[in-house]
Chains A and B, each alone.
Chain A
Amino acid sequence: MNPARGSLLGIEHLEAAEILKLLQFARRMNPDKPRPLLKGKRVLLLFYEASTRTRSSFEIAAKSLGAHTILIQSVGSSIEKGESLLDTGYTVRAVGADVIVIRHPNAGAPHVMAQHIDVPVINAGDGLHEHPSQALLDAYTILRNLKSLKGLQVTIVGDIFHSRVARSACHLLSKFGAKITLCGPPELVPDIAITLAPGIRGTRHMEDALRGADVIMLLRVQKERLAGLRIDLPEYIARYQMNSARLKLAKKDAIVMHPGPIIRGLELTSEVADGPQARILEEVHNGVPTRMAVLARALGKMR
């Protein structure tokens, strides 16, 4: 079965026009001025993995649109008792879910759900694969700070391999003609990474990566996903940590982004995290209107 209309499984197969519509609609969304677009609808948040930002902002977004939210986490639900992904899906559908927001440690889990359940499925992060609402809120944030995505120099530093945020960001930025540079050690930025989308290059040197950058996106080293990979953290810090000196290599008005959670002293220093160029909390803030747009689209209310 094809995914229900309004599903958002990834950025890769989303058309640029659709992304633009979402971003434009997000600009009209304001959680402080609630609009009951989804009045009486039930938004089911199915979280198989820990989350702070994504979960809370989907929840606030849904409530700001007048929807009810129901949170199911793997701990403390029948998932713990061994219920399969699809049986959980059928169950929440039978309970009356109008839309399912799912975060899952396995790539493709939302796709499998969407192939079997006849309500829109929103991917809130699937394993190493995609995190489409994050890419949308990042694009939203960039566009609030800089004029256009076209020709923009975006440098993404760190653990690209384990990052669904990076994959979604690359797909989105590439669709709008940004020039993307991936930077990190080979274990975290394999050569194959540049094949993800057109307009991506890779480098192992921060100096090379940062020169002329408009946007710097930092990523956390995902220790929980390394699965046997050994990363020498002191060396990582020496070569790839974002600090004030390195930030000077980028354009004067470059912005620094990070999907969070940030680890101060590892991928970035506190000076950078708290500095004037950081947009890290603005990203979190922008998550709400962006996800309002995503939810409205899911239920056909994005007009």
Chain B
Amino acid sequence: MTGQKAPGSLLIKGGHLIDPAARIDAPMDVLLKDGRVAEIALPNKIKGSADEKFDARGLIVAPGFIDLHVHLREPGQMHKETIATGTAAAAAGGFTSVCTMPNTIPVVDSVEWIEWLRQPERGAVVNVFGIAAATRASKGAELTDFRALQAAGAIAVTDDGKPILDDAVMREALVLGGQLNFPVVQHAEDTRMTQNCSMHAGARSFRLGLRGMSAAAESSIVERDVQLAMQIPDARLHVAHLSVADSLRSVRRGKRAKARVTCEVTPHHFVLTDEDMLDYDSNYKMNPPLRSTADLEAILAALADGTVDAIATDHAPHAAHEKQMEFERAAFGITGLETALALAVTKLHRVQHISLARIVELFTAGPARVFDLRGRGSLGRGSIADVTIFDPKKKWTFDVTESRSKSKNTPFDGQQLTGKVVATIVSGRVVYSA
């Protein structure tokens, strides 16, 4: 955000503020000044003038959304996405902060690359937080320099896509992370059990002749990691894109034991199941894969009851030529930044009757807590002026050709959705408006 002219003041008037961390769910005006929240007050109670006004009547005003899990593909894979295009998509989806994964080319496993991610030349339009590799080149053997990476601004470590299988290495990562108050993020998949697999193991994979990833390949790693987190003082474990019911059981056990265990869930895992993929459409291929109806129901319950800490997109852009091919050979992953809120409102709020306040929490206070993003995730006076304004009733159709992402690999093209981002404000400056 450096290099931009300093924002003046902006008064957001007439909206309904939902700020779960501050326990506010009421009509409120919000004054942003010099990149911070200057004042929150009942309607028409803010005195004085502002440089600009935003008419938020009929809209929800929320702390800026935070996505704990995106792939911006820089460095090295700019044909899929760049930090500029990925953050433009994030802004359009209401995200003011995104945490980018280190499985790039080369792997972000050094201070230099963490700093590189945040240079103004990258052209980011929202805040980008780097997650560094947990092991050198994500080879799962030798830990990276957690202390230096943390000092350089990395907010967590992970070998996303290449889980840490070795018990000793995972233990070591959690011990060091615990000492530094540094979260270790695990993509839980026992890859020894998922060779050549391209979807969830079940009736559907058998019918389609595709080798399936068993639920146990995920839950066995989650169970091991939670056990370790319960044994190691101060260890912080974050389970990425959790997708099966058994993994939730382990997370709940860890939380009950007061271990510092958190988890995120993606929109596609609370909307789709393995039965939804038709005709080998690789826009339904991602890792973890779409799971069973029973898993989806367990995830819905966990989103409602507080077990899940955050909704994260796992935005994973790929070029058309990497997707339009044999299903088993196509790349894993789908884009997700621009559909996340609408899928949450459409499915979680309108169908499941989960409150908007809880949904906002899953996009704001929840993720801010997971990675300790201070000054974000809430709109208390003095906090950073990251704001997301959305219309929870607006019906619209997602048209992938209008996506700001460089890639178009989504199963939600043409989908009728409810709930649309109207404006995204980063440090007091409007970076997106519908």
Contacts and interface: CB of A to CB of B under 8 A. Distances in A.
A-B interaction: yes
B328 interface: yes
B23 interface: no
Contact of A107 (B203, B321, B328): B328
A112 B209 contact: no
B195 interface: yes
Given A129-B208, A164-B209, A112 B195 contact: no
B293 interface: no
B203 A192 contact: yes
A116 interface: yes
Interface string B177-203: 000000000000000000110000011
B209 A126 contact: yes
A106 B327 contact: yes
Q: Is the interface of B mostly helix, strand, loop or mixed?
A: loop
A112 B321 CA distance: 13
Contacts of A52: none
B195 A227 contact: yes
B396 interface: no
B209 A167 contact: yes
Q: How many A residues are at the interface, by size bracket?
A: 20 to 34
A76 interface: no
Interface in B5-61: none
B374 interface: no
B167 interface: no
A107 B208 contact: yes
Most chain A Cβ neighbours within 10 Å, of B195, B207, B329: B207
A198 interface: no
B280 A196 contact: no
A12 interface: yes
Interface in A206-241: 227-228
A106 B206 CA distance: 14
Contact of A106 (B207, B279, B326): B326
Interface in B184-235: 195-196, 202-203, 206-211
A273 B324 CA distance: 43
Contact-residue bracket for chain B: 10 to 19
B325 interface: yes
A84 B209 contact: no
Contacts of B321: 84
Contact of B327 (A108, A167, A196, A228): A108
A126 B328 CA distance: 11
Interface in B302-361: 321, 324-329
A12 B207 contact: yes
B325 A190 contact: no
A55 B321 CA distance: 29
Contacts of A115: 279
A104 B211 contact: no
A189 B207 CA distance: 13
Nearest to B202: A192
Nearest to B326: A106
Given A111-B279, A227-B196, A227-B211, A193 B326 contact: no
A78 to B, nearest CB: 15
Contacts of A107: 208-210, 280, 327-328
B276 to A, nearest CB: 15
Interface string A122-153: 00001111100000000000000000000000
Contact of B203 (A109, A195, A227, A228): A195
Contacts of B280: 107-108, 111-112
Interface string A43-86: 00000000000000000000000000000000000000000111
Interface in B121-153: none
Given A192-B203, A195-B203, A112 B327 contact: yes
A85 B203 contact: no
Contact of A195 (B206, B209, B211, B327): B206
Contacts of B324: 86, 112, 116
Nearest to A114: B279
Interface string A98-118: 000000101111011001100
A10 to B, nearest CB: 10
Nearest to B212: A192
Nearest to A130: B209
A104 B326 contact: yes
B211 A129 contact: no
A164 B206 CA distance: 10
Given A107-B280, A195-B203, A128 B195 contact: no
A195 B279 CA distance: 19
A112 B279 CA distance: 8
B209 A85 contact: no
Contact of A85 (B196, B202, B211, B326): B326
Interface string A163-178: 0100100000000000
A196 B203 CA distance: 7
Contacts of B211: 128, 227
A109 B196 CA distance: 15
17 contacts: A12-B207, A84-B325, A106-B329, A107-B209, A107-B210, A107-B280, A107-B327, A109-B326, A116-B324, A126-B209, A128-B211, A129-B208, A161-B206, A167-B209, A192-B203, A195-B207, A196-B206
Interface of A: 12, 84-86, 104, 106-109, 111-112, 115-116, 126-130, 161, 164, 167, 190, 192-193, 195-196, 227-228
Interface of B: 195-196, 202-203, 206-211, 279-280, 321, 324-329
